[in-house]
Homo-oligomer: A and B are copies of this chain.
């Protein structure tokens, strides 16, 4: 996707968390300004702005969000475009930006993601999130996202022998990582015993299997690789990227233990990058629920189908394991401000590739992958990045 190589030349994130005194715009502006500074780019140089946001109108009554944020960053007169693709909103925005720069439409594009969720009570948040499902079908009959992923988990257990311990292993690992991440929402180590004793949310998922409701923003600056060193000493190259889609309703899918859109996006991204799963040294995966991380490791071919649970339980995806998964703490511990999650993952992968991940730095960090999932798999974005 794209005829010239594209680089990430700057990143900027807010902390993820519950910030009652911060509004959507101030979060997005903070991330955007940090990114502009990191990329040494002034607002007047930015040629297009893509903003991923899932549900600003429902969470904070604000729509038309791209020029709303863009103008506050000093970006007017250029296309400011909001992309909505459920939890993959800013992954999809990033795909648009990379495609546009790759194709030669622009040189300097700012892409950002933001969500302000904690202004609504939890029951209302669950209702808003359900908008990413099929409201004429599964949602109408009462399925929330924890319920949908509980069905997925139950089927995965039935079909592949996945256990509660395997799910809990994902939670324990991601909490251990997130505890070391100064930008994480929940910096708390948990034990396997605690994870297994979590309060039930939707059987077999407990509170420790579910990601967090968070506020936050994350921004990325992309540019042609050939110009990257004008702006940064540590450019990161986008080796491969793909966005794909599938049915929204779970009952439209042939096999709910795999996400077809993720498999297809991975296939395209690996092909574009000229690499295989074996080459991926670490990854930020979309663990909206623990089962989703397990399935992602299978769909991305890190392990054969059905072996994702054991892969996690054996510790092979830990920070010091053979292929760290979610060194940032993932959505589970870092937080999941829906619209910011995709660009947040890119920021985290880029920080690792630059060797700037501090206590969370992985040992091998020359090539990493980010996988962003919308809803129960109707949108998928897979990106493969490498130090340039």
Does residue A99 face the partner (Cβ distance < 8 Å to B)?
A: yes
The answer to whether A375 touches B131 (Cβ under 8 A) is no
Does A68 have its Cβ within 8 Å of any Cβ on chain B? yes
Known: A105-B2, A132-B63. A83 touches B86 (CB 8 A): no
The interface residues of chain B lying within 8 Å CB-to-CB of A55 are 57, 63
Residue contact B264 to A68, C-beta cutoff 8 Å: no
Q: Are A96 and B68 in contact (CB under 8 A)?
A: no
Taking CB atoms, residues of chain B closer than 8 Å to A261 are 76-77
**Contact between B378 and A60, CB atoms less than 8 A apart:** no
A260 contacts which chain B residues (CB < 8 A)?
A: 76-77
- Asked whether, in the complex, the Cβ of A245 is within 8 Å of the Cβ of B105, the reply is no
Q: Determine whether A244 belongs to the interface, using a CB cutoff of 8 Å to chain B.
A: yes
A318 → chain B closest CB, angstroms: 33
- Chain A contact-residue range equals 35 or more
Contact of A378 among B25, B71, B96, B247 (CB under 8 A): B71
Inter-subunit contact A80/B379 (CB<8 Å): yes
Q: B245 near A62 (CB under 8 angstroms)?
A: no
A67 touches B247 (CB 8 A): yes
Is there a chain B Cβ closer than 8 Å to A134's Cβ?
A: yes
Nearest B residue to A95 via CB reads B79
Instruction: Give the distance in Å from the alpha carbon of A79 to the alpha carbon of B79 in the complex.
Output: 20
A40 within 8 A of B: no
Per-position contact with B for A60-89: 1 when CB-CB < 8 Å, else 0?
A: 111111111011000111111111111000
A86 touches B63 (CB 8 A): yes
A93 CB to closest chain B CB, in angstroms?
A: 9
Most buried by B among A128, A245, A264: A245
For residue A96, give the distance in angstroms from its CB to the closest CB of chain B.
7
- Quick one: CB contact mask for A82-110 with B, threshold 8 Å, 1 for yes? 11111000001001100110111100000
> Which A residues from 250 to 273 make CB contacts under 8 A with B?
252, 260-261, 264
Q: Do residues B100 and A86 form an inter-chain contact, with CB atoms below 8 A?
A: no
Is A147 part of the binding interface, using a Cβ–Cβ cutoff of 8 Å? no
Query: Residues 133-176 of chain A: 1 if any B CB is under 8 Å from the residue's CB, otherwise 0?
Result: 11110010000000000000000000000000000000000000
Inter-chain contact A128/B64, CB cutoff 8 Å: no
Residue of B nearest to A248 (CB): B68
Q: Which 5 pairs of residues, A with B, have the shortest CB-CB distance?
A: A103-B103, A63-B131, A67-B378, A64-B86, A80-B245
- Would you give 22 A-B contacts (Cβ < 8 Å), ordered by A? A1-B105, A49-B245, A55-B63, A63-B84, A64-B131, A64-B374, A67-B247, A67-B375, A67-B378, A67-B379, A77-B245, A77-B260, A77-B261, A78-B245, A79-B243, A80-B245, A81-B83, A81-B85, A81-B96, A82-B84, A99-B105, A100-B103
